[in-house]
Amino acid sequence: MRLATESRAIDADLIRACGDDLEAIDQSIRPGTVINVGGTIHSLASSAVQQRSETPRAAIRRVQDDLREFCQRAKVDRLIVVNLASTEPPPDVGDLPVGWTELDSLLDLPERCPLPASSLYAIAALDLGHAYVNFTPSLGAALPALVELAEQRGTCLAGRDGKTGETLLKSVLAPMFAQRNLHVMSWVGHNIFGNMDGVVLTDPANKAAKVTSKDKLLGEILGYTPQSLVTIEYIKSLGDWKTAWDHVHFQGFLGTPMTLQFTWQGCDSLLAAPLVIDLIRFTERAGRAGQTGVLSFLASFFKSPQGVCEPTFARQYEMLLAWAQSLA
Amino acid sequence: MRLATESRAIDADLIRACGDDLEAIDQSIRPGTVINVGGTIHSLASSAVQQRSETPRAAIRRVQDDLREFCQRAKVDRLIVVNLASTEPPPDVGDLPVGWTELDSLLDLPERCPLPASSLYAIAALDLGHAYVNFTPSLGAALPALVELAEQRGTCLAGRDGKTGETLLKSVLAPMFAQRNLHVMSWVGHNIFGNMDGVVLTDPANKAAKVTSKDKLLGEILGYTPQSLVTIEYIKSLGDWKTAWDHVHFQGFLGTPMTLQFTWQGCDSLLAAPLVIDLIRFTERAGRAGQTGVLSFLASFFKSPQGVCEPTFARQYEMLLAWAQSLA
Amino acid sequence: MRLATESRAIDADLIRACGDDLEAIDQSIRPGTVINVGGTIHSLASSAVQQRSETPRAAIRRVQDDLREFCQRAKVDRLIVVNLASTEPPPDVGDLPVGWTELDSLLDLPERCPLPASSLYAIAALDLGHAYVNFTPSLGAALPALVELAEQRGTCLAGRDGKTGETLLKSVLAPMFAQRNLHVMSWVGHNIFGNMDGVVLTDPANKAAKVTSKDKLLGEILGYTPQSLVTIEYIKSLGDWKTAWDHVHFQGFLGTPMTLQFTWQGCDSLLAAPLVIDLIRFTERAGRAGQTGVLSFLASFFKSPQGVCEPTFARQYEMLLAWAQSLA
Amino acid sequence: MRLATESRAIDADLIRACGDDLEAIDQSIRPGTVINVGGTIHSLASSAVQQRSETPRAAIRRVQDDLREFCQRAKVDRLIVVNLASTEPPPDVGDLPVGWTELDSLLDLPERCPLPASSLYAIAALDLGHAYVNFTPSLGAALPALVELAEQRGTCLAGRDGKTGETLLKSVLAPMFAQRNLHVMSWVGHNIFGNMDGVVLTDPANKAAKVTSKDKLLGEILGYTPQSLVTIEYIKSLGDWKTAWDHVHFQGFLGTPMTLQFTWQGCDSLLAAPLVIDLIRFTERAGRAGQTGVLSFLASFFKSPQGVCEPTFARQYEMLLAWAQSLA
């Protein structure tokens, strides 16, 4: 409550009015796992969670028990599991098997299994036939083996890294430079904010995943790679307000250098929340329509859309429209 | 030369290297007409042009003689006539006939013919079978009667108001707000620059045409009309550097107000020049392909695209791509 | 309440906690006068106030009765009367007498007396020996005759136009350019905001007073007058948030043009409030120290400081410090 | 030449017109030393300079020979030696003797002498009675022992780190927040530029000296230390154009958070050059007036002014004015 109102992101009266609902939700929160989440996230977990020692498979089983109980209580068969947890450091997945059977067998071998919590949650969900949406830059279900698992269980997945602010603008503005044949010489983006996400991202290992996800876009859209710089820094006073300053230096006709700068002042959680709700709705609808595997038509929601190469926001949005029309 | 180099828009050495060419072009410039161009543009014309008294039809004939001579000298049959002259005040065209025959008969009646110079140039060109492109907010060929004329003579036209800077950004950014369902509460745009275009736009009559062209876009894209404000002011020291500051105030989830600001520092002439060159190339190609009437596939080049209702830049660009593919 | 919380300027819980106090203050508000306040302010007054017909002297007497009653109720002898009312259009004071006796005699002649409400309040206060502070660009006590009145009655005055945001920055930044010998070519300032002050300033007559007060500073500080532009526009969605964008174009060594831009996002009422409180404290202290006439040491608080020619903020602040030290 | 004109910092015709003078200056440039300048600067030196092996004392002697020859050639007795070389990593000077005699004896012991090139140049100059001005954040003459040397030789010194852009603004704006009692919660400054200075500052060791010099100011001015962040990044396309974005987050009345942002687009060399010229003039004048030791009245020119604690620009400037008046 304090966090939400201190930065004036959310109206205090509104939170008060939702008090009973929030309390009920709070009661039903279940402990997760900190397997392969890196030191910073580990240090933020409760000591009970920190001290638990279990294999990846045991963690998955435990989460699956919680999911089953939740289904029973809520009287539903199908869930959409959404990962909104802190960004994990990128694991080394170079040697992981591409098939589900081979990956499955690693779950009993903690020392040989680099899968982070986000992927274990994905497995827990998909294996039970629940859909999985990864709103973070963490690995989650971004592995061929997990796509295979989703298809085997007749369910679907989408990800990753919700496109809420600066990167949304990049995927909207960079195509303009390409389509006007204005050569981008450099693109600098500085992000500052002060919520819990920011605390975690001050760890360079965690930040690496985020910056990569924000940065690779330009080359994909422009067809060449301008010098670029992306920083994300924790500035406590900003609370949930993400402020981004971008400086785009480009060449016009006859080589004349020109500049576009923008400042984005958005409330990160409130930009994310409606996207999460829409992702749940669309994923539910796709499931009902019998779609399995990667839901690539959701690309416009993500910084690193899974299952699709299209980086231009406008075209990603047309994919969403086309899907909607195909259902109608 | 002084104007071009003072604001460091164009490299002085480059202009020097083009000296002979520029000199030759300078020699072939022919006087136009100041019929219905308003007081400010009138006052900037040479006294010879100011004092000429002729009917609209006589002005058209004179320009057509110049065009014929130019064709002869350049040994070409077909021209693309591009209007790059200063922005005229918007004439009252409510009572103008929609058919060419009726409009044609007004050309001998100066008191009853509100057509401004830009439209007379359009008639001069189209009547001879030359294509006409209007890069300004002036009226030009934006009349049903002139589209009819173009079709009768088997030629084509496109317009109007080249989309070089702030409005380009509007037509790229506003769709993002619509597609993310972020309610735009207000959009303020302040433009400052110091070239000849700016001198003319300090006259409120001339500015009216420009501001309308820049402003109506938002309602078309968003589906509702946020409070908006567009100013264009002449600041001498900026020379050809158009600086625009836009402040977009929008509502996120739960009504929380958020802000996007951008500053665009572009050199207006150098943003316009390559668009003009491309418009000439595309118009020439369309003519060769036998297209007549309004070239609506050129919408992405214009603030107020003629013959098409699509205000979203990304979709306008897809129209250009589709045309290119249809030719291939 | 709605206005204060809608723009999230003030915490709703805080206003609720002050409810009884605000209610009590509300009860003691007395009607003023709309003599010479211009059409826009007139239209915002209650119909009772609008319809009252009285001479300037009668209005002053009425206000003085209210002040006497307030003193009695509050059990105090001396008041500090602060003008925080909407900005009036600048009256024509060229022919007004410089002596108090002559000005006094005009108060019975409504047709010959151009004094606006702000000046009548000033007379009401000063005549009773109460100090008068003008926090607005309105005329108030900025007349030689009223300074004479203050001295005769042994009281003091200060003004005018509280320096809260953009102009504060101007009076801080412009000296830097002068002291670094960087030639300012142009200074453009665009202000947008959405409170009641903004409603009144959309009337060009009222705005004139404000813009003059904001704009003349540059010439005084720089010693020459760069091209400048100041706009103030009402944008409803901003509520009490005043956003100013300033673009300063200056010449460095060898004539190279450079740029400083700033964006100020401040809550106008909350920037003004503590200045008003401090002005009351300092004026009270000066009165206790026996100072009469214009309190020029308060220059740092005002855009158009009365009784002093120093436009540089840093030096104005040193005047305040020197005064404080002189008292100690 | 290419560097100067590519970023349009300096007019190419102007450089051409100065060609002979620049050529002559180029001829008289003498090799310096790379003792204790760190790996990055070392790698940028010519191989001849890199391979020279000499004691600090030998380097000083060599430079002094060059200075003597220069005096002879220029037919002058006194020089003002200005350090404009790349920023060195900050050496560990904790154990250095405070007296000149003791420091002097270290010059023959390379392993025990941490003095970087900037300090050796300072010693070379001061020892011959020439004034020394340090325009960089490098150590230079910022040691008690070197101030003693200057006084012994009857000469003077000033430094360090020319205050050209972002820090100039900080020392102008931060006092405003203090004087208005607006609590600064955080101050973020991002600097991007692409000249040789930028190449050197990409080495974290070199950058450390710069960031410290830019950052400590806030605490000195405000009396408390807000969270702050200063980055300096090399962006090649910007050439000599230093662009700084600063985001100041402060608390107004009743704790309401407000924001000031500025963008500074200045040409670093052209901001520095006139300051260097003025420093030379003032230092020469002070020398003629018989002043020795640290010239503290030059504080307004430096980010880390030697010999004075006053961080407020306006007050530093008054010190300069007072000195000028004391001479008149």
Position C208 scores a pLDDT of 77
Position B196 scores a pLDDT of 80
Contacts of B7 in chain C (CB under 8 A): 257
Contacts of D257 in chain C (CB under 8 A): none
The number of beta carbons lying within 10 Å of the beta carbon of residue D30 is 11
Q: Which residue of A has its CA nearest to B173?
A: A172
Q: Which residue of A has its CA nearest to C5?
A: A11
Q: Which residues are CB-neighbours of C142 under 8 A, at least 6 positions away?
A: C134, C159, C160, C304, C306
Chain C residues in contact with chain A using a Cβ-Cβ cutoff of 8 Å: 8, 11-13, 263
Contacts of B261 in chain A (CB under 8 A): 262-263, 265
Q: What is the pLDDT of residues D50-67, one digit of tens each?
A: 888 899 999 999 999 999
Is B12–D11 a contact, with Cβ atoms under 8 angstroms apart?
yes
Taking the C-alpha atoms of residue C173 and residue D175, their distance in angstroms, rounded to an integer, is 11
Position B28 scores a pLDDT of 87
Confidence of residue D93 (pLDDT cuts 50, 70, 90): confident
Taking the C-alpha atoms of residue D201 and residue D86, their distance in angstroms, rounded to an integer, is 9
Please, are residues D53 and D34 in contact by the beta-carbon 8 Å criterion? Answer: no
Confidence of residue A93 (pLDDT cuts 50, 70, 90): confident
- Chain B: give the shortest CA distance to residue C319, in Å: 36
Chain B residues in contact with chain D using a Cβ-Cβ cutoff of 8 Å: 8, 11-13, 263
- Chain D: give the shortest CA distance to residue B133, in Å: 34
Taking the C-alpha atoms of residue B182 and residue B259, their distance in angstroms, rounded to an integer, is 11
- Chain D: give the shortest CA distance to residue C193, in Å: 14
pLDDT lower than 50: segments of chain C:
1
Helix/strand/coil for A186: strand
Position D118 scores a pLDDT of 97
- Chain B: give the shortest CA distance to residue D5, in Å: 9
Position C101 scores a pLDDT of 96
Chain D residues in contact with chain C using a Cβ-Cβ cutoff of 8 Å: 9-11, 14, 168-169, 172-173, 175-176, 179-181, 252-256, 258-267, 270-271, 273-274, 300, 312-315, 317
Helix/strand/coil for A260: strand
- List the one residue out of B87, B93, B275, B73 whose CA is nearest residue B168: B275
Is B267–A256 a contact, with Cβ atoms under 8 angstroms apart?
yes
Chain B residues in contact with chain A using a Cβ-Cβ cutoff of 8 Å: 9-11, 14, 168-169, 172-173, 175-176, 179-181, 252-256, 258-267, 270-271, 273-274, 300, 312-315, 317
Is D188–A192 a contact, with Cβ atoms under 8 angstroms apart?
yes
Contacts of C245 in chain B (CB under 8 A): 190, 245, 247, 261
Taking the C-alpha atoms of residue C25 and residue A103, their distance in angstroms, rounded to an integer, is 73
Touching subunits of C (3+ CB pairs, under 8 Å) are A, B, D
| Amino acid of residue A300 | S
Helix/strand/coil for A36: coil
Q: What is the pLDDT of residues C242-258, one digit of tens each?
A: 999 999 999 999 989 99
Is C260–D256 a contact, with Cβ atoms under 8 angstroms apart?
no
The number of beta carbons lying within 10 Å of the beta carbon of residue B188 is 24
Is C252–D266 a contact, with Cβ atoms under 8 angstroms apart?
yes
Position C201 scores a pLDDT of 79
Position B165 scores a pLDDT of 86
Range in A88-92, B122-126, B166-170, C198-202 the model is least confident about: C198-202
Taking the C-alpha atoms of residue D49 and residue D34, their distance in angstroms, rounded to an integer, is 7
Edge-to-edge strands of the sheet including C257-267? C227-234, C183-193, C241-251, C257-267, D257-267, D241-251, D183-193, D227-234
Position C5 scores a pLDDT of 60
Helix/strand/coil for B92: coil
Average pLDDT value over all residues in chain D: 92
- List the structure tokens of B19: 């000296």
- Chain C: give the shortest CA distance to residue A176, in Å: 25
Is A258–B265 a contact, with Cβ atoms under 8 angstroms apart?
yes
Contacts of C316 in chain D (CB under 8 A): none
Please, are residues D93 and D157 in contact by the beta-carbon 8 Å criterion? Answer: no
Position B5 scores a pLDDT of 60
Domains and CATH numbers, chain D: 2-162+271-327 (3.40.50.720), 166-267 (3.30.360.10)
Contacts of A247 in chain D (CB under 8 A): 192, 243, 245
Contacts of A227 in chain D (CB under 8 A): 235-237
Q: Which residue has the tokens 């897809």?
A: B318
Angle subtended at Cα A244 by Cα A242 and Cα A250, rounded to the nearest 5 degrees: 165
The strand ranges marked E within C272-328 are 293-294
Phi then psi for residue A302, to 5 deg, are -125, 150
- List the one residue out of A9, A303, A265 whose CA is nearest residue B262: A265
Q: What is the pLDDT of residues D171-204, one digit of tens each?
A: 999 999 999 999 999 999 999 999 877 778 777 8
Which residue stretches of C166-234 are H helix? 166-179, 196-201, 204-215, 217-222
Q: Say how many Å lie between the first and final Cα of chain C, rounded.
A: 41
Phi then psi for residue C32, to 5 deg, are -100, -145
DSSP state of A91: P
Taking the C-alpha atoms of residue D165 and residue D244, their distance in angstroms, rounded to an integer, is 8
Is B227–C235 a contact, with Cβ atoms under 8 angstroms apart?
yes
- List the one residue out of D251, D184, D253 whose CA is nearest residue C275: D253
Is A238–D263 a contact, with Cβ atoms under 8 angstroms apart?
no
Confidence of residue D166 (pLDDT cuts 50, 70, 90): confident
Q: What is the mean pLDDT of residues B42-61?
A: 92
Q: What is the pLDDT of residues D293-312, one digit of tens each?
A: 999 999 999 999 999 999 99
> Looking at the partner chain, which of B179, B270, B313 has a beta carbon nearest the beta carbon of A176?
B313
Confidence of residue A12 (pLDDT cuts 50, 70, 90): confident
Residues of chain A with pLDDT > 90, as a percent, come to: 77
Question: According to the 3-state scheme, what is the secondary structure of C95-163?
Answer: CCCCCHHHHHHHCCCHHHCCCCHHHHHHHHHHHCCCEEEECCCCCCCCCHHHHHHHHHCCCEEEECCEC
Touching subunits of A (3+ CB pairs, under 8 Å) are B, C, D
Q: Which residues are CB-neighbours of B250 under 8 A, at least 6 positions away?
A: B177, B182, B183, B184, B185, B257, B258, B259, B260
pLDDT at residue B11 above 90? no
Task: Please give the interface size between B and C, counted as residue pairs whose CB atoms are below 8 Å apart.
Answer: 63
Q: What is the pLDDT of residues D207-266, one digit of tens each?
A: 777 777 666 889 999 999 999 998 889 999 999 899 999 999 999 999 899 999 999 999
Position B94 scores a pLDDT of 85
Q: What dihedral angle (degrees, nearest 10) is formed by the CA atoms of C194, C199, C203, C205?
A: -100
Taking the C-alpha atoms of residue C1 and residue C12, their distance in angstroms, rounded to an integer, is 8
> Looking at the partner chain, which of A186, A245, A263 has a beta carbon nearest the beta carbon of D235?
A186
Q: What is the mean pLDDT of residues B175-188?
A: 96
Contacts of A13 in chain C (CB under 8 A): 12
Task: Transcribe B248-286 into DSSP letters.
Answer: EEEE-GGG-EEEEEEEEEEEHHHHHHHHHHHHHHHHHHH
**Which pTM was predicted?**
0.94
Taking the C-alpha atoms of residue A180 and residue A15, their distance in angstroms, rounded to an integer, is 46
Is B236–C227 a contact, with Cβ atoms under 8 angstroms apart?
yes
Q: What is the mean pLDDT of residues D97-111?
A: 95
- Chain C: give the shortest CA distance to residue A253, in Å: 20
Position B3 scores a pLDDT of 52
Q: What is the pLDDT of residues A179-231, one digit of tens each?
A: 999 999 999 999 999 987 777 877 787 777 777 766 688 999 999 999 999 88
Q: Which residue has the higher pLDDT, D39 or A276?
A: A276
Position C93 scores a pLDDT of 87
pLDDT at residue A325 above 80? yes
The strand ranges marked E within C210-315 are 227-234, 241-251, 257-267, 293-294
Taking the C-alpha atoms of residue B187 and residue B247, their distance in angstroms, rounded to an integer, is 6
Mutate to test the interface with D, among A5, A235, A251, A262 (most CBs of D within 10 A): A235
Please, are residues B59 and B33 in contact by the beta-carbon 8 Å criterion? Answer: yes
pLDDT at residue B240 above 60? yes
Position C156 scores a pLDDT of 97
Taking the C-alpha atoms of residue C300 and residue C290, their distance in angstroms, rounded to an integer, is 21
DSSP state of B162: B
Residues of chain D with pLDDT > 70, as a percent, come to: 96
- List the structure tokens of A102: 């081979």
Residue C24 zone, left/alpha/beta (φ > 0; ψ -120 to 50; rest): alpha
Q: Which residue of D has its CA nearest to B261?
A: D261
The number of beta carbons lying within 10 Å of the beta carbon of residue A61 is 14
Touching subunits of D (3+ CB pairs, under 8 Å) are A, B, C
- List the structure tokens of A278: 């829409």
Position B214 scores a pLDDT of 67
ipTM for the whole complex: 0.93
